Amino acid sequence: MSTTITENKPAKGSKIANILITQSQAADSKVYQELALRFKLKIDFMPFIQIQAVDAREFRKTKINIGEYTAIVFTSKHAVDHFYRLCTEMKVEINPDWKYFCITDATANYMQKYVQLRKRKVFVGQKTAHDLIEVFKKHKAEKFLFPCSNIRTPEIPDYFAKNGFTYKEAIMYCTVPTDLSEIKDKPYDIIAFFSPSGVNSLLHNFPDFKQNGIYLAAFGATTAKAIEDNGLKSNIEAPLPNLPSMAAALEAFVEKANKK
Residue 170: inside a domain: yes
Q: Residue 33 pLDDT more than 60?
A: yes
Q: Residue 14 pLDDT more than 80?
A: no
Tally the domains of the chain. 2
Q: Does one domain contain both 166 and 195?
A: no
Instruction: Say if residue 137 is exposed, middle or buried (CB neighbours under 10 Å; 0-12, 13-18, 19+).
Output: exposed
Q: Does one domain contain both 205 and 189?
A: yes
- Partners of 167 in the β-ladder: 144
Q: Residue 42 pLDDT more than 80?
A: yes
Residue 99: inside a domain: yes
Confidence of residue 8 (pLDDT cuts 50, 70, 90): very low
Range of the domain at 117: 52-175
Mean pLDDT is lowest, of 9-18, 87-96, 171-180, 190-199, for 9-18
Sign of CA dihedral 31, 244, 178, 107: negative
Q: Residue 244 pLDDT more than 70?
A: yes
Q: Note the pLDDT tens digit of each residue in 132-146.
A: 888 898 999 999 999
Answer with the one of 160, 175, 190 that is the final residue of a domain. 175
Q: Which amino acid is at 104?
A: T
How confident is the model at residue 2, as a pLDDT? 44
The DSSP symbol for 220 reads S
How confident is the model at residue 132, as a pLDDT? 85
Residue 176's φ and ψ, nearest 5 degrees, are -125, 150
Closest CA to 99 of 70, 124, 125, 75: 70
Residue 8: inside a domain: no
Q: Residue 1 pLDDT more than 90?
A: no
| CATH code of the domain containing 67 | 3.40.50.10090
DSSP letters along the chain, please? ---BSSSPPPPTTPPP-EEEESS---TTHHHHHHHHHHHT-EEEE---EEEEEPPHHHHHTTT--GGG-SEEEE-SHHHHHHHHHHHHHTT----TT-EEEESSHHHHHHGGGTS-GGGSEEEE-SSSHHHHHHHHTT-TTSEEEEEEESS--SHHHHHHHHTT-EEEEEEEEEEEE---GGGTT-B-SEEEESSHHHHHHHHHH-TT---TT-EEEEESHHHHHHHHHTT--EEEEE-BTTB-SHHHHHHHHHHHHTT-
Answer with the one of 175, 204, 227 that is the final residue of a domain. 175
How confident is the model at residue 28, as a pLDDT? 61
Torsion of CA 17, 23, 27, 33, to 10 degrees: 0
Mean pLDDT of 16-37: 89
C-alpha 81/C-alpha 123 separation (Å) is 18
Answer with the one of 152, 175, 198 that is the final residue of a domain. 175
